Chains A and B, each alone.
Chain A
Amino acid sequence: MTAPLLKVDNLCISAPSGPIVQGVGFTLERGRTLALIGESGSGKSMTALSILGLLPPGLSHATEGGVIFAGEALPLGEERRMRTIRGKRIAMVFQDPMACLNPFSSVGSQLDETLRRLNVTAREVRRERSQRLLTEVGLPDPPTILRRYPHELSGGQQQRVMIAMAIAGEPELLVADEPTSALDASVADGIVRLLADLQRRHRMAMLFITHDLAIAARLAHDIAVMQRGKVVEIGAAQVLMSAPRHPCSTRLIGARRMLGAPRSPAPTTIESRVLVANGVSVDYAPRRLFGRPFRAVEDVSLTLGAGNTLGILGESGSGKSTLGAAIAGLIGISGGCMTVLGQERTQRLHTLQGSRRRECQLIFQNPYGALNPRLTIAQLMAEPLALMGVAAAQHTERTTVALAEVGLERQHMMRYPHQLSGGQRQRVSISRALLCRPRLLVCDEVVSALDTTVKVQILKLLKRLQEAYGFGMVFIGHDIEVVRWISDEIIVMHKGRITDRFAAAEMEADERDTWTKRLLACTRVPSHSPSTAHACG
């Protein structure tokens, strides 16, 4: 047995405010993949960056920790010596490909610059190699792509270009830091397959950082779970997935299992319909004076009964959020007809009238944006109360009760939104919307910004509140398992149209539309080892 390619031993990283990574250690053999998983703030990205000596300014390595690469300690602090390793022996792929590519130069010149740095001197050779690399990462028509600028490519194409640049130097180690989390599920799936394929073909070692357990399980031979700057559990992927030992891993896997298993559907006794839409379309006004309006939603028909949940599933740009805003009355509809809580919405009059207006609420994806940062939680909760005409004397009492219902305490009332965690902020948003006793609640990607364990808590909370209050819920999301878990019925949207609709329990059935099947395929956690997973990918 030779020495491992990468050995991280007691790595410590500290920021001025305190330690971020404390004593992390793991080893990685040649030709194998290690997934580093953890929730936000667990220090996984910083660990990855530190291996290339790319820590952001202000963060520093503690002296005792070391990274040993191919038998030698990496000179982490020394820019000049690290430069001889970066891109040649260790390459990296980052999260947001749009931000990572130089916006001022074409794909061709960025690849060219990469190859020139690898001492490929002949211009013609570089051009030919660039084309070969693009073909290898699965981009059709390389000559055209080479002429393009980054902003002219789609997110998936950008990430493929990034990967092409990373493998240009035939690195021994590829570090991939959440390379798929900025991408849509079906695109992300392609990137995961590509990385698995490249790793096998080039016999690279890969350090894959992710928060997504499903992806980790598909790709990795080994998994290390990080929590608060420490590795809490490390082991073979199969073993860890089936028998996690540390509570943190158990929680992560448990959350995944809960979402993976279909929930027993709610009794669908429909007494009253809270939402009926018939052939609804929504246009956005043209950007320029004589431009054509952009049709974001086209010919959508749906119904929702009180106490039921309708899931709207789609990727970015599918029109699902626009539809949600139209249901909530934030934007007008341009065609068709929509009846919300018994009142018909017309093109001219899109907000509900009278007290009905408050009975339809929307919860936003980013709870930080939905709470005015200059107001305390108590002031924020008082806003809807005051607008409803509740006397100021009762505000504190009503607020306390409402917050208790979502699991927050009195002490949170005097805080500002930025002093709460993401999950707590979303609880405040939900609690605030419930003050109005809504009969229809639109949830727009409400758990997408949250970590898996928090996500599950919020989903359970929503379900519990729905059972208590009996509101109809429209749940918009891109994560097929989340949407399936919470919904009774699901519609799938693509390019503004409904492409498929089915009861949540029948998702796996054969008659599903191809688009749905593709989405579904991306999230399936394999029970077999990654090597066989590659074979079917």
Chain B
Amino acid sequence: MSLPVHPDTAPAHARLPFPSGASVGAVLVTAILVIALIAPWVVPYDPLYQNLLAINTPPGPEYWLGVDHLGRDVLSRLIMGSRTTLAISVGGVTLAFFIGGCLALLGLALGRVSERLVFGGIDLARAMPDILLALLLIVALGSGAVPVAIALGVSFSPFFAYVARTAYKREMAQDYVRAARLFGGGRLHVLLRHVLPNIAGGLVTQAAIILPRCIVTESVLSFLGLGSSPDAPTWGRMISDASRFIEQAPHAILAPMLTLVLLTVSLLLVGDYSRARLDPLRGARNRQGVMP
């Protein structure tokens, strides 16, 4: 079992070397989101149009980020690519959230046997490294945006299932759950009033942690030639395409790479900050920490 980050043990401030990082990150994430939403109306050129006269042109006043080896405008592809990249990654995380969360809650709520079955199955499937599972899923489902999103959703779902199980068990062992039963509250009352609200935070935090990983994995898959179709470029695919012409057109590879890194770092900073801010138990934890 390997969860990427331990939200309960990580002091939120520790990963933030500078507090203003979060605001810079937030601005960047918002900007990229907005651009992705309005992409078709702001691209300077058709991202698929090949201007054979301008092949490998470096960045300049006409083509801000240059032209790639097939004569396509890098900026336009980058902008359109943000759309596909984000759609696939957000889709993947959402899918993982629901697959993992629902599977775990279903298994847990139905009793001990179903819990063993569900998590036994997940443990067995986890023996397979994420990237290999995603790879095989894409092989099985064919390439394209939807199969990639499904592959990401399936291979990241165990992270959500584990978080949900840990949180569920922690909540069910609390005295306030026992107190609620003494007040006459049934299973459903306990689940809706105490367990789900207290689990939701952990799952959302986990989604914030997984999103940048999902974006990176998507681009790795695209880079390996297993991502979406060439007509709807993602950043990973742009890097992959341009890597063969790295000497002639380094700008075509640097642009998507830097954007990718910028977005993931921003997401990490924002995720950390919001995790620290949105945790209502923060005060309580600090308080308990100081008590002798």
Q: Taking beta carbons and an 8 Å cutoff, which residues of A are in contact with B?
A: 15, 17, 40-41, 45-46, 328-330, 351, 357-358, 360-362, 364, 366, 369-374, 383-384, 387-388, 416-419, 429, 432-433, 436
Contact = CB atoms under 8 A, between A and B. Distances in A.
Contact of B290 (A15, A366, A383): A15
Contacts of B283: 416, 418-419
Nearest to A331: B178
A17 B290 contact: yes
Q: Which of B183, B280, B281, B283 has most chain A Cβ within 10 Å?
A: B183
Contacts of B193: 383
Contact of B182 (A46, A328, A388): A328
A372 B198 contact: yes
7 contacts: A41-B291, A357-B184, A358-B182, A370-B179, A374-B197, A388-B184, A419-B283
B284 A418 contact: yes
Nearest to B173: A369
A387 B291 contact: no
B278 to A, nearest CB: 12
A383 B180 contact: yes
B194 interface: yes
Contact of B176 (A371, A419, A436): A371
B287 interface: yes
Contacts of B189: 387
A364 B283 CA distance: 23
Contacts of B281: 373-374, 418
A360 B182 contact: yes
A200 to B, nearest CB: 29
A432 B175 contact: no
B179 A432 contact: yes
B169 interface: no
B215 to A, nearest CB: 31
B: interface residue count bin: 20 to 34
B20 to A, nearest CB: 21
Given A362-B182, A384-B183, A387-B189, A369 B198 contact: no
A387 B178 CA distance: 14
B181 interface: yes
Given A362-B179, A373-B280, 17 more contacts: A40-B292, A41-B292, A328-B182, A330-B181, A360-B182, A364-B179, A370-B178, A372-B176, A373-B284, A374-B197, A374-B280, A383-B185, A387-B180, A387-B184, A418-B283, A418-B287, A432-B179
Nearest to A49: B292
Contacts of A388: 183-184
B205 to A, nearest CB: 14
A120 B143 CA distance: 71
A416 B198 CA distance: 15
Contacts of B174: 369, 372
Contacts of B280: 373-374, 416
A383 B290 CA distance: 31
A351 B183 CA distance: 11
Interface in B230-267: none
B183 A372 contact: no
Leading 7 A-B pairs by shortest Cβ distance: A418-B284, A370-B175, A384-B183, A369-B175, A364-B175, A45-B292, A372-B176
Interface string B186-206: 000100011001100000000
A364 B173 CA distance: 13
B120 to A, nearest CB: 14
A373 B287 CA distance: 13
Contacts of A371: 176
B183 A436 contact: yes
Interface in B272-292: 280-281, 283-284, 287, 290-292
A387 B185 contact: yes
A384 B179 CA distance: 9
Contact of B184 (A45, A358, A366, A416): A358
Contacts of B287: 418
A387 B175 contact: no
A360 B184 CA distance: 10
A369 B280 CA distance: 15
A366 B176 CA distance: 10
Contacts of B198: 372, 374
A17 B178 CA distance: 35
Nearest to B197: A374
Contacts of B194: 372
Contacts of B181: 330, 351
Contacts of A46: 292
A358 B183 contact: yes
A417 B285 CA distance: 12
A377 B90 CA distance: 38
A328 B178 CA distance: 10
Interface string B114-134: 000000000000000000000
B204 to A, nearest CB: 14
A40 B283 CA distance: 19
Contacts of B284: 373, 416-418
A366 B178 contact: no
Interface in B32-67: none
